[in-house]
Amino acid sequence: MQRRKMLAALGSVAVGGATAVSTGAFTNVQAQRNVSVNVADDSDALLAFDASSSTNSAYADTSENAVALDLDGSTGDDITSYNATGVNTDALTQILDIFKVRNQGTQAAVVYVNPSSVPEDQRTQTDGFGIDPQASNRPNGDFTKEETVGDDKISLTHIYDQDFPSSTSYYGGGNDALEEYVLEPGESFDFGLYVDTRNGDFDGSFDMEIVADATIVPDSYEGEGE
Amino acid sequence: MRRRTLLAGLGSLVASGSLAVGTGAFSTTRAERTVSVSVADDASAVLKLEQIGTGGRSIPSGSKVTFSFPGAFASDDLGLGTDSVYEFDTDSGRSVFGDTNEDEQKLGLLLIKNQGTQKVSVFARDESESAVDIEMYDFDGGKTALRKDPATLAPGGEVKVGFRVRTHGAVSGKFKEKLTVVAQATE
């Protein structure tokens, strides 16, 4: 892996050099260059989803390369060993630390879940069933909410704020809020789910889009506790 | 000497390359991951709430267990006395002492089982602001109220609970109460 990275770097430096030094005129040049892409399992990716050391990894289905969140007991795991086939009806269920989200890149990034990737009828703030991804054990930001489990737990969709992350209103708003979502290289937080069945039930599945964006880390961000 | 210089040269080239190109850097990553959810009946949910007995005090009505005191099969005239504390260890028509094995198994009104993956403490809260106060107690644990002294359940652990009803200052009539069962991870 390390060796492959080095080769890629050398290759691109050489290309850059050729463009800069070139003196002859030409109308059209077509040069093929090899691009090698290594796709890793979720636990080894640049943005890693790693359930190997999580408290509630029983809800993570890691049988495929991409982790899936399994709250219906469809995979043979600890849930089914107690014959549980789902979350409780008419209840609020928090399942924190299903897997770790870890930044294995080289830049700090804002990590969140695209609010519009959660279907409208499955959001906590509507009258019916609601589900919201949660981050806890976060390394950055200064937001705390002491009365609940996981005192630094926040909504990864910014509480379904459809303008997030371009604008923010919760957790201090603006850059102060964005700092809550920052993961520096090597840092991780726990990914969990908040499921509200007090006003409605749900059976099915949907895709949630997890985003890491290094371009929107606020300039004011200075590191831990800011 | 020459060889060492060459190696150093390569080394610095790699370093500058990784600064400019950023081998491990990414600007934006988007990953879609599937979430599948099922909402289960009380008896098969992550926190199992299973009614015990057939006397009409604990009732498996649809997806949620409900309770009725003195019992769903009791005549409308019958009720709890006012200014009293009642304890219901079992459903109606059952002996507390359990004459047979079958009876033993039916002690308690509700079985709470942790079918999740973390150790939890379990307690109940009476959500209704009325003269009637209801608490759950640990049937096998000295009838300790599951309020400030919650039952601790490891994954797979279970507790049988009875109901304690206080009617201080209650006038006669029907009371609709709501009880919230909370299971909270302890670590």
Burial class (CB in 10 A: 0-12, 13-18, 19+), A50: buried
Helices (H), A84-156: none
Instruction: Kindly state the average pLDDT of the residues A5-12.
Output: 40
pLDDT at res. A7: 40
A130-149 residues touching B, CB cutoff 8 A: 131, 149
Residue pLDDT, tens place only, A147-161: 554 568 899 999 888
Instruction: Kindly state the average pLDDT of the residues B68-91.
Output: 89
Residue pLDDT, tens place only, B101-144: 565 556 889 999 999 888 999 999 999 899 999 999 998 878 99
pLDDT at res. B166: 95
pLDDT at res. B49: 94
**Nearest CA to B13 among B25, B5, B3, B1?**
B5
User: Is A25 a residue whose pLDDT tops 80?
Assistant: no
Return all residues near A148 (Cβ < 8 A) that are at least 6 apart: A94
pLDDT at res. A47: 92
B88 near B165, Cβ under 8 Å?
Answer: yes
A40 pLDDT tier (thresholds 50, 70, 90): confident
Burial B127-166 (b: 16+ CB within 10 A, else e): eeeeebebbbbbbeeeeeebeeebbebebeebbbbbbbbb
Which is higher by pLDDT, A40 or A2?
Answer: A40
Residues of A in contact with B113 (CB under 8 A): 82
Instruction: Tell me whether A60 touches chain B (CB under 8 Å).
Output: no
Residues of A in contact with B32 (CB under 8 A): 117, 207-210
Residue pLDDT, tens place only, A177-189: 999 999 999 999 9
pLDDT at res. A58: 86
A11 pLDDT tier (thresholds 50, 70, 90): very low
Based on C-alpha coordinates, what's the Rg of chain B?
Answer: 29
pLDDT at res. B137: 95
Instruction: Kindly state the average pLDDT of the residues A199-207.
Output: 85
Residues of B in contact with A206 (CB under 8 A): 34-35
